[in-house]
Amino acid sequence: MVETNNDQCVWKYIKSRNTRKQSQLCNTALIDCTREYTYGQMFVEWEHYARVFSALGITGENNSRVALAGTISVEPLFSFYGLNITGATVSMFSYPDFLPTGQWKTMVEKENITDLILSDIMISPETWPEIEKAGKTLGLRNIILLHSLLGGPCAGPAELIYNEYNYHRLRKIPGVVYMGDLLKQYASVPITYGMNDPDHLAMITHTSGSTKGTRKPLPYTEKSLNITATDFGNGFHDFSDNKGKVQYRLAPSFDFSSYLCMGGIINADLAIGDTVILTFFGFLHPKFIRAVEYYKLDVLFTSGFMVDSWLKRDDIDEVDFSSLKLFSCGGSYLPVEKVKKYNEFAAKHGFDKGISRGYGMSEAGGAQLYVPPGNLEDILGYPSSNESIIIKDENDSKYYTSKDGVRTGTMYIASDSLCSNELDGEVLFEYTVINGKNYICTNDQVRVNPNGSISYAGRLDKFFVNNDGVRFESGIVENEMDKQPGIDKCAVVPVLDKRIHDTVPVLYIIPENKDGDVCTDVLNALTRIFIEDGLDSSSSLPSQFIIVDNIPCNSNGKIDVFRITRERLKGTAYNIIPKRENGKLTKINAEFSDKTSSIIGGTLPEGMGGGSAFNLFELFNN
């Protein structure tokens, strides 16, 4: 383990780790499409940007908090580290926040943003007036646009042309300010350095879920960011077989608003002296997969959502993964059958090792559970330390570690890089204090296995409640269905049934084989779960299942329940008909239904005969 000083500012922490040997300054730090920067050149660019921010008063001294929304390219990165040098806090926004239905204005107001830095490809001359007007209304001091160059294997000719065309159109608008011009104007301005305070709020990232109308902010101090970088950075090399290689190459899959990207990948990779490959759009671009072979990547961190999209394509047979030393897929629970498919896919493309998995929370600074490469146990992983994971036993409500034996309960996570649970005096979420230490409740129901590993049993906070207070455990049902043969993907969502003016659970299914007897496959899966495995509950059995071609996900790859409930996906629907003997569920039948509108949601769940009062349902933390 490399000795570090986690109490430094983030920029100083990374620079100090890469200046112990003068030769490291000549090594490649960043490759942005076709541009390359050594560590020495990168540090100079940080200072160039810091001079601009100093000249404009975007500093910690002026209590500046900057919203930074950038493409995956060097200009946003240089802006982040330049702002960190001057002591400004940086809140990482994302492209979806600036879409017509985006939340950026509300986020600016709630997070007390003072300045906005935005990649120009996210807007157009037609949308600029709205940005400018909102900036004045919200009291933003500066709005600065960044222009990044496209190129490499992850961009097509049309994108190259649009990027430059849009840039030149925006430059003609009075009042538009570009960073390139500011860098020339303030090239000789002295830098105003921020305080070297480990508890200074360095960065705010955001989760995909919403809190009070906007994505939930996660505030991180300088020290918490550095601890994550220390742990993750060394992990890239420790988890691979080829520990002797001095530099690895890694391309972030996710945009900079994700803590995994900025905290767990960018900072960590630069701190360890590796090379970061920037591909402008990341995994959102269909050509991202070609970056693996083109740049000879050593490490690929991704999600099941992205690999699933690759599995459906027939135009990537020649892509070569043989350069990879580590292929990690995490962020959410992955059924073993899916992991097997991913391993087969990776092996087909030349990756001769097994895929590893990680599981944790952004609030806790990343993965706290890890599954070694090639391991095919049906688990979330093994705890990184005995104190990092605590289980609240479902029987006695006491807290235990994974070493205390087999049990089932709710999982709590702690780490030294835990984010703050407050922003400007507002409590964002509650800590649970266990044995004098702050933990975050994951709302995962888990099982501790005899070998100390932890298995996933479902989400305790993924449910909905009808007007009579009946709780439908959608998360647990989804988890069990995902494990079943013949099921590729599923979602349980509430559908308003106007017969009873209440919501009922409807199961959406993407089958593995659309040409097979999908109805029988689904009925067999439901029978195994609810009858053979004992999940017999009238408040869990869906009222209808609908076979669909696609289940929409949000930008982080999680099922978009709100969009499903809003649009009511079209597909082949079957009403679920339970049969009971002496109150015990003995058989599950299905009948075809031609009604998939929001008026009727299948067979009414038992006990819901129409006594509910009219009201809207509630969704909890999905």
Region 230-243 average pLDDT: 65
Q: In whole angstroms, give the CA distance from residue 402 to residue 404.
A: 5
Residue 295 pLDDT more than 90?
Answer: yes
The pLDDT value given to residue 236: 64
**Closest listed residue to residue 376, CA positions, set 343, 331, 327, 347:** 343
Residue 600 pLDDT more than 80?
Answer: no
Q: What is the CA radius of gyration of the chain?
A: 25
Residue 562 pLDDT more than 50?
Answer: yes
pTM, 2 dp:
0.79
Which residues are CB-neighbours of 213 under 8 A, at least 6 positions away?
103, 106
User: How long, in residues, is the chain?
Assistant: 622
The string of pLDDT tens digits covering residues 127-180 is: 999 999 999 999 999 999 999 998 888 888 899 999 999 999 999 999 999 999
* Identity of the residue numbered 561: V
**Closest listed residue to residue 73, CA positions, set 298, 231, 229, 266:** 266
**Closest listed residue to residue 273, CA positions, set 222, 301, 237, 322:** 237
With bands split at pLDDT 50, 70 and 90, how would you rate the model's confidence at 602?
very low
Which residues are CB-neighbours of 231 under 8 A, at least 6 positions away?
268, 365, 366, 417
Low-confidence winner among 74-78, 79-83, 507-511, 533-537 (lowest mean pLDDT): 533-537
The pLDDT value given to residue 611: 32
Q: In whole angstroms, give the CA distance from residue 271 to residue 231.
A: 10
Most confidently modeled of 112-126, 242-256, 270-284? Answer: 112-126
Q: In whole angstroms, give the CA distance from residue 478 to residue 28.
A: 45
The pLDDT value given to residue 105: 94
Residue 413 pLDDT more than 90?
Answer: yes
With bands split at pLDDT 50, 70 and 90, how would you rate the model's confidence at 244?
low
Region 349-362 average pLDDT: 89
Region 315-331 average pLDDT: 89
* Identity of the residue numbered 73: S
Query: To the nearest whole percent, how much of the chain has pLDDT over 70?
Result: 86
The residue with greater pLDDT, 72 or 597, is 72
The pLDDT value given to residue 65: 98
Residue 555 pLDDT more than 70?
Answer: no
* Identity of the residue numbered 513: N
What is the residue-averaged pLDDT of the chain?
85
The pLDDT value given to residue 615: 28
The pLDDT value given to residue 404: 94
